Amino acid sequence: MTKYGSFPGTRPRRLRTTPAMRRMVAETRLHPADFILPAFVREGVREPVPITAMPGVVQHTRDSLKKAAAEAVEAGISGIMLFGVPEEAKKDAVGTPGTDPDGILQVAIRDVRAEVGDELLVMSDLCLDETTDHGHCGVLDEQGRVDNDATLERYAEMAQVQADAGAHVVGPSGMMDGQIGVVRDALDEIGRQDVAILAYTAKYSSAFYGPFREAVASSLKGDRKTYQQDPANWRESLRELALDLEEGADMVMVKPAGPYLDILARVADAVDVPVAAYQISGEYSMVEAAAEKGWVDRDRAIIETLTGIKRAGARNILTYWATEVARRLR
C-alpha cells in the first residue's frame, strides 16, 4: 500500500471501533448535574395544562410543580427555573403580580422550597413580561417605549420578594441596562448576600421564542428588539458580559443556545465564572416536531444538541428535557 504522510501507520478510526472505545476517549460528557429544568406554574388551574407548541411540557398546578421538583431531585439535576403565569385579570401595566408576595411565582417558590429544601437550586425568572398586560419586560413610558430606569425599580422589588419567598438564585432576564447592579444592591439591602444572580447576559431577539409565549400566556404587543440583542452582533455580547460581571453577576448565560454556539464559546473563553446556556422552546419544539414526523431519531437528536451546547462551553444547560435526559444518563 502506498504511504500517504503518516497513513497507513496512523489510523484515527482505531479510536472509534467500539462503544467502549468511543466512551473512553469522549472529550465531552453530559452529567445530570449539568441540567436546570425550566418549569411553568399557572395560577387558578386544577390540572396541568398541556402546551400545544411544546409537546410533553405543561403549565403546572402548584401540586404538579412540587411533584416535578421532587422528580428533578431524584434524577440528580441541579436546579429548577420557575416561571409564574398569573390569571389574566391580575396583569396590569406595571406587572403587579411580580411583586405581590402572594403572586403565583412567589407562591410557587415557597411551595418548591417546602418540597425539596436545599436539595435542588430553586431559581426564579426575574422579569415583568409574564405579569404585564402589554407583555413587555418592563414599564412603558408615555410613548409606549420600555422605560429602562423605571423598570429597574420594579426589578429591585421583584428581587426582594423572590428572595423572601426562598429563591436560591434569581435570573434577571429583561436585558435592561444596569439590571444586575440594581438587583445585587436590592438583595444586599435586605441582608440576602447569599442569593446568587444568574445574569441573562447575551439574550438575543430570536424567532425561536415562539412556543414560550404560549407557555407563559404572553400578552406581548410588538417586539423586544429595543432591549434584546440583535442576532447579527457578537461584540455587543462581550460588552454586556463585562458590564454584568462588573455589576456583580455570579453566573452568566447565553440565550438561545443552539443558534448562538459561537457566542457561547466566546463567553466561556472570556470568564472564570460558571456559564449557562438556555436551550429554548423553539429548539425543543423543532426536535419534537421532526421526531413526531419520523424525520430524526428523537433520543439521538436530544443528546446531540445537548452535547454540542456543552462542548461549546456551557457548564450548565437549561433544557425542557432536563429530567428525562438525567434519568437516561443515570
Q: Which residues are catalytic?
A: 203, 255
Grid cell listed for 46 = 386544577
CA distance 224 to 204: 9
196-203 vs 79-85, strand pairing mode: unpaired
Q: Which amino acid is at 15?
A: L
Find, among 102, 175, 169, the residue nearest to 137 by Cα: 175
Could you tell me which residues come within 8 angstroms of residue 249 by beta carbon, excluding any fewer than 6 positions away?
180, 197, 198, 199, 201, 273
Grid cell listed for 195 = 442569593
Grid cell listed for 264 = 457561547
Residue 240 is labelled as binding a ligand: yes
Residue holding cell 421532526? 290
Whether the CA torsion 155, 180, 162, 52 is positive or negative: it is positive
How many whole angstroms from its chain centre is CA 328?
21
Counted residue by residue, the chain has a size of: 330
Neighbours of 265 (CB within 10 A): 16
CA distance 193 to 207: 36
Angle between helices 62-75 and 104-116 (to 10 degrees): 40
The number of C-alpha atoms within 13 Å of 180 and in the hemisphere containing its C-beta is 22
Residue 281 is labelled as binding a ligand: yes
Numbered residues of the known binding site for 5-aminolevulinate: 213, 224, 281, 320
Numbered residues of the known binding site: 213, 224, 240, 281, 320
Numbered residues of the known binding site for Mg(2+): 240
